């Protein structure tokens, strides 16, 4: 066989030795948790005989495995191996790849086992209150100029306290960039108000000219928010086009009106596709894999809920009393509110894939309604002072109901992205931090 048919690969070997500062029991527990293996298999790894834990790795991947196992207290070795390039990769050992202790096996498909890696929000209302109140006071004192710094501090707090697989998300935007974008928006608004007072015709022309800018602002906003978000030092990105944004902003809504709202589920799907398919993590693109029928079934069920409560409220008002009918109508509204608030997020996240990885959202409508109502009540009776606790409470629940289903090893995925994105430019452009999201 010729030399070209071989690639230089590496393997991780372990002979049961532990590093200084660790006890054997501690290392056994760490290795067992990392590899998710039985007590018998763990004992065999510590028998003293050299064993291959993982083979056919690139040097970067082997170094990641070495780091994870070293932190667990295991003295492992990286050694080179030569293997045919055309042969599919396989492990010579029987242990699965390392994962965080909180990850657990969910199911198996053609690409390998999916490990459920849950999100976790670690912030507290008391801690966030200090950031929130200072942001408000400084924004007032500076006549709104500090609002850009307030936005960054808020996002950094919520990103930094959202963790997955032992790592936090990052928000990297510059307050100066956001301030410049807001000053431009303010200048445009002032110009429009002045023109409206002086020349009505000029104001109309101004509004007409502004309409084509809406899709451009949508794309810039999504791109800015994405590229300033990162996980494990890899930035997200958004590559959606102006034409796609124009369809979502104008064409599909217009067609929906012309068909008497019969296209509402399709319009929602097109919006989700625009956001998901245009997004990427490093150089790997997200993809929405959902059938149009799923959206029609979701909205159809919502319509049936609305009709059922509407008929019940009408009959109660006519034959029982206005109060009873009003109560039924209120319960129906809250039921519908929770159904869409939780259901749209579940529908979107459960349909999103990132390469061979996907996501799971398990938000419950009753819980969402309860958190929303109780938060609103407490914010009102505390004259707004409960707001930090309300935001933290909702963020904690959303994170607790969201997981990433990782195919194989997330470390391998991250290492590959770091290698491929290291040479990418970091031109962020102007900030248009407009809130435009799928859920």
In a domain, 31, yes or no: yes
pLDDT computed for residue 292 by the predictor: 94
CB-CB contact of 276 with 350 (8 Å): no
Per DSSP, the three-state class of 162 is strand
pLDDT tens per residue across all 439 residues of the chain: 444 344 577 888 888 888 887 888 888 877 776 666 667 777 778 878 788 777 777 777 777 778 778 888 888 888 886 544 333 333 433 343 444 333 334 444 434 456 788 999 999 999 999 999 999 999 999 999 999 999 999 999 999 999 998 889 999 988 998 888 888 888 888 888 888 888 878 778 887 888 898 899 899 889 988 989 999 888 898 999 999 999 999 999 999 999 999 999 999 999 999 999 999 998 889 999 999 999 999 999 999 999 999 999 999 999 999 999 999 999 999 999 999 999 999 999 999 999 888 899 999 999 999 999 999 999 999 999 999 999 999 999 999 999 998 876 666 556 556 554 443 333 334 545 555 666 6
In a domain, 29, yes or no: yes
C-alpha–C-alpha distance, residues 54 and 112, integer Å: 15
C-alpha–C-alpha distance, residues 93 and 179, integer Å: 54
In a domain, 13, yes or no: yes
CATH number for the domain spanning 70: value is 3.30.1390.10
- Could you report how far apart the first and last alpha carbons of the chain are, in Å? 55
pLDDT computed for residue 29 by the predictor: 79
- Number of structural domains the chain divides into: 1
pLDDT computed for residue 304 by the predictor: 96
In a domain, 271, yes or no: no
In a domain, 363, yes or no: no
What are φ and ψ of residue 351, in 5° steps? -105, -5
In a domain, 173, yes or no: no
User: What range defines the domain where residue 72 resides?
Assistant: 3-86
pLDDT computed for residue 94 by the predictor: 36
pLDDT computed for residue 48 by the predictor: 80
In a domain, 252, yes or no: no
Structure tokens at 132: 């929130």
CB-CB contact of 224 with 432 (8 Å): yes
C-alpha–C-alpha distance, residues 117 and 61, integer Å: 20
pLDDT computed for residue 418 by the predictor: 56
pLDDT computed for residue 26 by the predictor: 82
In a domain, 28, yes or no: yes
| pTM of the entire predicted model | 0.71
């Amino acid at each position: 066989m010729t030399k070209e048919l071989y690639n230089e690969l590496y393997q991780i070997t372990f002979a049961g030795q532990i590093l200084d500062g660790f006890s054997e029991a501690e290392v056994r527990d760490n290795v067992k948790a990392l590899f998710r293996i039985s007590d018998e298999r763990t004992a065999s790894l510590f028998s003293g005989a050299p064993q291959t834990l993982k083979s056919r790795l690139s040097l970067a991947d082997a170094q990641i495995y070495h780091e994870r196992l070293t932190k667990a207290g295991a003295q492992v070795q990286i050694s080179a191996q030569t293997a045919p390039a055309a042969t599919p990769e396989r492990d010579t050992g029987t242990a699965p790849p390392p994962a965080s202790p909180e990850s657990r096996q969910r199911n198996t498909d053609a690409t390998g086992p999916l490990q459920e890696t849950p999100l976790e929000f670690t912030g507290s209302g008391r801690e966030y209150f200090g950031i929130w109140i200072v942001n408000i006071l400084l924004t007032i004192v500076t006549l709104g100029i500090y609002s850009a710094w307030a936005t960054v501090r808020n996002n950094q707090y919520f990103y930094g306290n959202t963790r997955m697989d032992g790592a936090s998300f990052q928000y990297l935007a510059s307050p100066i960039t956001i301030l410049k974008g807001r000053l431009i928006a303010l200048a445009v608004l002032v110009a429009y108000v002045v023109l409206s007072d002086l020349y009505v015709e000029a104001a109309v022309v101004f509004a007409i000219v502004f309409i084509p800018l809406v899709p451009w602002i949508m794309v810039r906003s999504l791109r800015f928010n994405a590229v300033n978000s990162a996980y494990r030092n890899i930035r997200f990105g958004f590559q959606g086009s102006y034409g796609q944004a124009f369809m979502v902003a104008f064409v599909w809504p217009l067609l929906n009106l012309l068909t008497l709202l019969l296209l509402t589920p399709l319009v929602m799907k097109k919006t989700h596709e625009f956001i998901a398919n245009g997004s990427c993590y490093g150089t790997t693109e997200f993809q929405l894999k959902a059938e149009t029928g799923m959206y029609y079934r979701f909205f159809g069920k919502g319509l049936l809920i609305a009709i059922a409560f509407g008929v019940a409220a009408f009959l109660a008002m006519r034959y029982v009393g206005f109060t009873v009918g009003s109560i039924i109508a209120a319960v129906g509204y809250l039921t519908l509110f929770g159904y869409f608030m939780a259901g749209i997020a579940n529908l979107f996240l459960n349909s999103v894939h990132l390469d061979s990885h996907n996501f799971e959202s398990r938000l419950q409508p009753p819980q969402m309604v309860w958190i929303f109502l109780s938060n609103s009540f407490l914010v009102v009776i505390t004259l707004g002072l409960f707001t930090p606790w309300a935001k933290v409470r909702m963020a904690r629940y959303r994170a607790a109901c969201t997981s990433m289903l990782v195919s194989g090893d997330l470390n391998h995925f991250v290492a590959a992205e770091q290698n491929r994105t290291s040479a990418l430019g970091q031109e962020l452009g102007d900030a248009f931090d407009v809130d435009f999201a799928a859920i």
